[in-house]
A and B are shown apart, each in its own frame.
Chain A
Amino acid sequence: MLIRNYFKSFYLRQALSVGLTVFVSVIVNSQYSYSGEYWVVLSAFMVSQTTRGTPVRQGMIFFLIMIAAIIVSAFLMTSVEQNQAVYLLLAILFVISSYLAFLDRPQANKTFFLMVYFSIIMLIATLSPIHSGQYMQNRVFDALIGAVIGIMGGMIIFPARINEEFTKGIIPILNALNSYSQVMKDSIQGVGRLDEGIIRKKLEVENTLQTQHGMYPEWVYETGFNRGVRAGLRFFLVNLERITEVLFSMEYILYQDADPLIFQALSDEIANVMSKNQELLGMLIDYFQYNRLTDAKSDFTSDIAELEKSMQRIMPTSLELLEISPARTLITAFVRDLRDLRGLILQLVMALQAPVQNQKT
């Protein structure tokens, strides 16, 4: 059971997959290498450095760039006689690609990253000691063998489990959004001041949305992602982003000069609506974390209607009056955000399918 749990970890599965790919490629290289160098292993290793979404497509891109670097390097070595001129060209390429990647901080555009990769392979291919015989063709064949091993390894050895990985990536975001919403609700029900806790929770939400610092399943957006599940997973992510935007918008409104008296007068209704939103978020969390679809206990429309009626009672919301009162417009915007948030979360909940039960025969 413990071992099975370990093998559920994406990190371990991916590490084992790449490790085994490298292992196989080393054995194959020792027996079948054309060039007598490391290109089989290097190609298998590079081609395995892909994300979960489109490993084959990304692997092919890395392989093609490697081939391009090998061919350009061979051309350089045969057409430029002086070593110093070759060094100068290599240095220029390396400096320019690294510099462009640096300018595009903090996360370099994919193009610049691939340029740096190309320049590193060029450095390796050009300066490598073995340049005898048909070294270019031999390197290309070796790279091809390595790429096949790398791509097959990624597909066969512990392949990515899309649904599981997506679930693992979604849960932290849902939990962070739930906590963020809770803190915002507590702040509204308090004295109307913004709690420092909101800022902390907001940072948590921001961190979960970044792939580098969390498990956010950005690979769902990649070109060439599994067509069978693409639409559903992308729909989910897009709506989740919209929910995040609405919550950030709500926090922003709380910072503005909205009429505090009106806010206080509506605080109970607002808190009620936010509680129901949290109930829905809780359903989503339950579904992804525990694979169970909780039955909805509450009515999810009357509270919004109640809030809007209370708002109309306290402050008329005709367009003419709102145009001359920015403070009241802000409250209208906040209530609108709450309504939109309900709509977005309901869309996600309605899209959930009943979990498949294992049947014993």
Chain B
Amino acid sequence: MLNQKAGMGFIIAPLVIKRLLYLILITSSAFIIQDYLGSSQKYWLVWSACILGLITHGDSFKRRITVILVAGLIAAFSAFLSACLAFYPFILAVFLFMLTISCVAVSLRYSEYFFVAFVINLFAIMSGELPAPVLIIANRFLIITFGMGIALFFQVLFYPYFVRNELQSFVVITLRNLKKVNEEIFSCFIDAEYPDNIYLYERRLHLQKNRYMQSIRRLREIISLASRKMDESESGYYAFLLGRLDLLYDNMLDYSQLRRRVTDHATFSVCLQELSAVSNEIGRVIEGMMMRVMNRNYHLDTDALVRHIKRLEENYTNVLQVAAREPLVFLLFINSLKCFCNAIDAYLKRVLPEASSYS
């Protein structure tokens, strides 16, 4: 239930709604306008508006506009050039060869520009194989730039409050990824197939850790961008939040060591219920943090988590100390879970309602 609420809350968050509206408007405008255009090249309007509209690189207004403008103009120009060479296949081949080398090298070296380089290459390739008289080609150039103009217009329209909306979104995304890291860690304890499929589980865990690290990296960038407009208390709150997220992640990696230390996986079968309960409760607590970030009035505490950890501890005292080959590793695990609980409590004490007042 809480998972659905958190999910719905995320989907109707301002930035996500803005993105949906943006996509709908840019696509519908492109299709409607091209229907009224009398030109034989009108389909380029839809291609350029829709595809260039997917560019989201650049956090500042100036940077975003510059990237789309430069991408659009280079794409239009290279489409123009390759169409001019369309009647000379060998020269066209040489031109596309050089353009492709440049675009691929740029996209490999600077992966954030992959899509921009891809669009430029794509337009040049398509245009080169659609030969036409020079006037038609010039028309094609203008229509591509017109499509770029549509993308730019809607980017400008939807840009206000971008940093604020992105900030809230990325806190939620980072927490969501943190929750999934926890799920993958506990699946290594709970699933009986883990010892026979270690690589598969480690791969999934690696992918989820990677997604978490990307989201926290992006969150740091946005907080750094947003801090110029924040007052001291908000700045302090987000610095605290970043530190807390780092701590929670490292804490998870600490208790994830149990999967390596327990040599006989069957040991987990005696505490399966307790482990599942702890895993679900940690997930619920992180979802609660997401709800708080989305400014929902949601009461969040760690009482249930503490109870489940206590039950696990009782199981350790009564069963695992005898059943486990190395009970110490379970003690270290339980201690780590308690520290996780304390870290959440410290966060809850610090959460400020004015996180919503930033604009």
Q: Is the CB of A12 within 8 A of B105?
A: yes
Give a binary string over A145-187; 1 marks a CB under 8 Å from any B CB, 0 the rest: 0000000000000000000000000000000000000000000
- A interface bracket (residues with beta carbon within 8 Å of B): 35 or more
Contact partner of B27 (CB less than 8 A), chosen from A14, A91, A210, is: A91
Judge if B46 is at the interface, Cβ distance under 8 Å: yes
- C-alpha gap A19/B118 in the complex (Å): 13
Give a binary string over B330-341; 1 marks a CB under 8 Å from any A CB, 0 the rest: 011001101100
- C-alpha gap A322/B43 in the complex (Å): 72
Q: Is the CB of B108 within 8 A of A332?
A: no
Known contacts A15-B101, A26-B93, A87-B31; A94 and B130 CB within 8 A of each other: no
- C-alpha gap A84/B358 in the complex (Å): 43
Interface residues of A in 121-137 (CB under 8 A from B): 123-124, 127-129
Number of interface residues of B (CB under 8 A): 80
Residues of A within 8 A of B101 (CB): 15-16, 18-19
B220's nearest neighbour on chain A, judged by CB, is A203
Contact partner of A95 (CB less than 8 A), chosen from B20, B251, B327, B339, is: B20
Stretch of B63-71, B207-215, B268-276, B295-303 at the chain-chain interface: B207-215
Judge if A22 is at the interface, Cβ distance under 8 Å: yes
- C-alpha gap A323/B313 in the complex (Å): 10
Q: Is the CB of A107 within 8 A of B211?
A: yes
- C-alpha gap A251/B51 in the complex (Å): 44
Judge if A197 is at the interface, Cβ distance under 8 Å: no
- C-alpha gap A128/B254 in the complex (Å): 55
Q: Is the CB of B16 within 8 A of A38?
A: no
Residues of B within 8 A of A242 (CB): 260
Q: Is the CB of A248 within 8 A of B253?
A: yes
Q: Is the CB of B331 within 8 A of A322?
A: yes
Judge if B36 is at the interface, Cβ distance under 8 Å: no
Known contacts A45-B100, A129-B43, A329-B332; A94 and B217 CB within 8 A of each other: no
- C-alpha gap A325/B101 in the complex (Å): 62
State how many angstroms separate the Cβ of A177 from the closest Cβ of chain B: 14
Judge if B293 is at the interface, Cβ distance under 8 Å: no
State how many angstroms separate the Cβ of A204 from the closest Cβ of chain B: 12
A333's nearest neighbour on chain B, judged by CB, is B332
Interface residues of A in 221-275 (CB under 8 A from B): 221, 234, 237-238, 241-242, 245-246, 248-249, 251-253, 255-256
Q: Is the CB of A42 within 8 A of B125?
A: yes
State how many angstroms separate the Cβ of B92 from the closest Cβ of chain A: 6
Stretch of A59-67, A97-105, A278-286, A350-358 at the chain-chain interface: A97-105
- C-alpha gap A245/B104 in the complex (Å): 34
Give a binary string over B29-48; 1 marks a CB under 8 Å from any A CB, 0 the rest: 00100010000100100110
Interface residues of B (CB under 8 A from A): 10-11, 16, 19-20, 23-24, 27-28, 31, 35, 40, 43, 46-47, 50-51, 54, 56, 89-90, 92-94, 96-98, 100-102, 104-105, 108-109, 111-112, 118, 121-122, 125-126, 128-130, 169, 173, 198-199, 202-203, 206-207, 209-211, 213-215, 217-218, 247, 249-251, 253-254, 256-257, 260-261, 321, 327-329, 331-332, 335-336, 338-339
Beyond A26-B89, A332-B328, 18 additional pairs, beta carbon < 8 A: A11-B108, A15-B104, A22-B93, A23-B97, A38-B125, A42-B125, A95-B20, A99-B19, A106-B211, A207-B217, A210-B217, A241-B202, A319-B331, A326-B338, A326-B339, A329-B335, A336-B328, A337-B257
- Write 5 A-B pairs (CB below 8 A) sorted by A numbering: A12-B105, A209-B210, A213-B111, A248-B250, A252-B251
